[in-house]
Amino acid sequence: MANRKLFIQMRKLSSVVITLILVISSCGPKHNEEQLDSYFENSLAKYNRELTDVIVADIFTPPVASRIYAYPNIAAYEGIRFLDSTRLSLVGQLNGLEKLSEPDKNKSYYYPLVSIVAFTSVAKSLVFDMERVENMQNKLLEEVRHIGMDSKMYENSISYGNLLAEEILNWANDDGYLRRTALPRYSVNDDPGRWRPTPPDYMEAIEPHWNSLRPFVLDSANQFDPGLPTPFDIDEESLFFREAREVYQTVIDLDPEQLEIAKFWDCNPNISHTKGHVMYFQQQISPGGHWIHIAAQIIEDQKDDAVDATVTMAKVSIALADAFISCWDQKYKSSLTRPETFINKYIDPDWTPILQTPAFPEHTSGHSVASASAATVLTQIYGDNYAFIDSTEVPYGLPKRSYTSFLQASQEAAISRLYGGIHYKPAIEKGVKQGQDVGRFILENIDIE
């Protein structure tokens, strides 16, 4: 009788334990692979756009913006490349990147989550509005929990993503960015051919020591030096004067299509407007950001898988970052005066350019270099005649534009600087070649396909 009672009690206890296990299991996350894969489709394009919103609001300069795009996209690639065993790490391929931790073979990971956690964790440390990026990441994690992911896989993925981010940031912290602020400021002197602040804000020179940063792939900032600009000369028969007159006359004779092109590719992150005694500022996307958005649009249009998408974004962002380092090297070596300064002094004191002159020297054109480098990379990936509609500027009040190729878009971006009245022709033409050289070098020296 006693044994029977004990048996009944044990059976009841077992029933309670089983019920408890079932209750606990039902409360835990259910792994929903199909829905997770759908959720993370195009996620890198989405988060690059959200990062752009932060960059625009924080008013980062074009060179700094290019750096902010590069490191998170590198982290995103390193976080997802394990989905394809043929993909190689960028360790040993990027300057100074000597080691990154590998995933633990005894643990399970959901690599799309690893990738975006790494992306957002790196991005958070590179912007001013850290809270905004942290909120982006928290929303991501909340939505993943709602969909349902195996709890161990979820924890492992976040942990590994954050570890990669920490290692990428340690590498980034040694690239010279933090040290550049201790270097001397740009000094203005009486040399009439030398750059000086321009209207309406007369801002100080932006990033005069950007060439001191460690490039990502280039051997040095001056590896693809475009050569010096045309020698400064105020003689009306001189080549330099004719180049200045070309800018002057182009703006005067501008047709509606050229005006639209100039405005579409303006990409000045901080334009000032004055009404009466009131000045206000308008924030816009940077030149590099414009090409990041083109790349994001293309990976969506092509329905690239997660790994292919990160390859594209990593290559484009690296090319843009090295393009700005290369361009800024010659800018502050030649330190040539802008068309607005020369034309107002020697041709027409009342002339104004279509676009607001950016606060850095003339030669070469940053938009020309950056656009050519990005277009070179995208052409290698998607082909010579990839037609697309660029909707990047729609959020900033401008219409879409259509292109038959990335090359055509980059050429239009380059010539827009002449239409806008902010660059002489040689800065554009030499800038295009400089950007193409940078882009080709990136492609030749990165093996992740």
Residue 418 near residue 425 (C-beta atoms within 8 A) = yes
Q: Mean pLDDT, to the nearest integer, of 334-347?
A: 98
In the chain, domain spans: 33-172, 194-445
194: which DSSP letter?
A: B
Q: Mean pLDDT, to the nearest integer, of 85-110?
A: 97
> Cα-atom radius of gyration of the chain, to the nearest Å?
26
Give the model's pLDDT for residue 267.
84
For tokens 């509606």, the residue is 256
Pairing of strands 270-275, 278-283: antiparallel
Q: Mean pLDDT, to the nearest integer, of 390-409?
A: 95
* Phi, psi of 414, rounded to the nearest 5 degrees: -65, -50
- For 138-197, the pLDDT digits (tens) are 999 999 999 999 999 999 999 999 999 999 999 999 999 999 999 999 999 999 999 999
Give the model's pLDDT for residue 201.
87
Helix axes 151-172 and 62-80, enclosed angle (nearest 10): 140
Residue 269 near residue 421 (C-beta atoms within 8 A) = no
The Cα 114–Cα 50 span in angstroms is 18
Q: Which of 13-17, 355-359, 409-413 has the lowest mean pLDDT?
A: 13-17
* Phi, psi of 135, rounded to the nearest 5 degrees: -65, -35
Could you tell me which residues come within 8 angstroms of residue 391 by beta carbon, excluding any fewer than 6 positions away?
Answer: 297, 400
Give the model's pLDDT for residue 281.
54
Q: How many CA atoms lie within 13 A of 101 on its CB side?
A: 16
| Tokens encoding 378 | 């995208």
Q: Mean pLDDT, to the nearest integer, of 354-359?
A: 96
The architecture CATH gives domain 194-445: Orthogonal Bundle (1.10)
pLDDT above 90 as % of the chain: 87
Of 168, 414, 217, 432, the closest CA to residue 325 belongs to 217
Question: Strand pairing partners for 388?
Answer: 403
* Phi, psi of 272, rounded to the nearest 5 degrees: -95, 145
Residue 156 near residue 107 (C-beta atoms within 8 A) = yes
Residue 212 near residue 176 (C-beta atoms within 8 A) = yes
CATH number of 33-172: 1.20.144
Give the model's pLDDT for residue 283.
76
List Cα–Cα distances, 430 to 108, 229, 250, 266, in angstroms: 50, 9, 19, 19
Residue 140 near residue 184 (C-beta atoms within 8 A) = no
Residue 34 near residue 149 (C-beta atoms within 8 A) = no
